[in-house]
Amino acid sequence: MTNIWDRIQPKYIKNAKEDHNADFAYENLVNTPSLLCLCDENNDYTLDLGSGDGRFTRRLEVISNHIYAIDYSMKMISAAKNICTKTNFIHSDLEQPFPRFKNKFNLITCKLLLMYINDLDNIAKEVSAIMTDNGALVISVTHPLKWIVDQQKGTIKSQGYKGYLSEVGVKGNIAKEKELELTFLNRTIQTYTNTFTKHGFVLEQVIETGVPDFFVIKYPQYLEFQHKPYRLNMKFIKR
């Protein structure tokens, strides 16, 4: 199975390693701490969906007794294995029925994955089926208001995007790299909330992560996002 993430992996990893790369620095310094605030500190079984090069999975290893991760890019999984020492990696497409697990999970995380998933309803159903009661689902997506800033700047391409309520794909570039152009699905807060609620989840907490002053001082190219939400982080509890 080869996919777009296998193709762009070398360029993605190269950018991710560079300290001066603002997009990856934002994830490391701002968004990851914000998301970890939503995760309990002691989890028996954790599953990280769309684990990429493992930089977030590695942080979850510390708060999990047993940890699994799924990605459909073999190249991403190989990179992740270099930095994750206790994670069990599974190569699987999350648009398909999920692999069978012996145990149910207390914590499932989804960091910067759902914008690439076409069928949100199906993934919510699959996630619900493999969670314990009172288990936590923690997600992080591009904040839907960020696309409005991008639209004003002219840095995204989309035929159908008209504003916040337009649930269409928008094209953008990770780290401003030509080769890292991807389509991101814009979804509203009500769509995320209503879809997970339909499958037995209750919304517990929302963090609309912005761009703090210290980050703008270090990375002035983020000035236009200051005082605006950049990531939408949500914690749902399975009832």
Q: Which parts of this chain interact with ligand SAM (CB under 6 A)?
A: 5, 50-52, 55-56, 70-73, 76, 93-95, 111-113, 116-117
Beta bridge partners of 49: 70, 110
Our CB check for ligand SAM shows the closer of 76 and 156 to be: 76
CA distance 69 to 94: 11
Residue 133 C-beta: closest distance to ligand SAM, Å? 26
Residue 5 C-beta: closest distance to ligand SAM, Å? 3
Q: What is the biggest distance separating any 2 CA atoms in the chain, rounded to whole angstroms?
A: 48
Our CB check for ligand SAM shows the closer of 56 and 147 to be: 56
Residue 208 C-beta: closest distance to ligand SAM, Å? 18
Please report the sign of the dihedral spanned by the C-alpha atoms of residue 21, residue 22, residue 28, residue 32.
negative
Our CB check for ligand SAM shows the closer of 71 and 150 to be: 71
Our CB check for ligand SAM shows the closer of 17 and 239 to be: 17
Our CB check for ligand SAM shows the closer of 98 and 225 to be: 98
Residue 95 C-beta: closest distance to ligand SAM, Å? 5
137: CB partners within 8 A, 6+ apart: 108, 109, 110, 127, 131, 196, 201, 235, 236, 237, 238
Per-position b or e across 21-42, b if 16+ CB within 10 A of its CB: bbbbbbbeebbbebbbebbeee
Please provide the DSSP assignment of 129-193 as one string: HTEEEEEEEEEEEE-TTHHHHHHHHT--B-SS--STT--SEEEEEGGG-GGGEEEEE---HHHHH
CA distance 70 to 49: 5
Our CB check for ligand SAM shows the closer of 60 and 211 to be: 60
The residue number with the shortest CB distance to ligand SAM is 52
Residue 92 C-beta: closest distance to ligand SAM, Å? 7
Our CB check for ligand SAM shows the closer of 52 and 169 to be: 52
Contact (CB, 8 A) for 69 and 47: yes
Residue 72 C-beta: closest distance to ligand SAM, Å? 3
Residue 50 C-beta: closest distance to ligand SAM, Å? 3
List the structure tokens of 130: 């493999």
- Position 139, amino acid: I
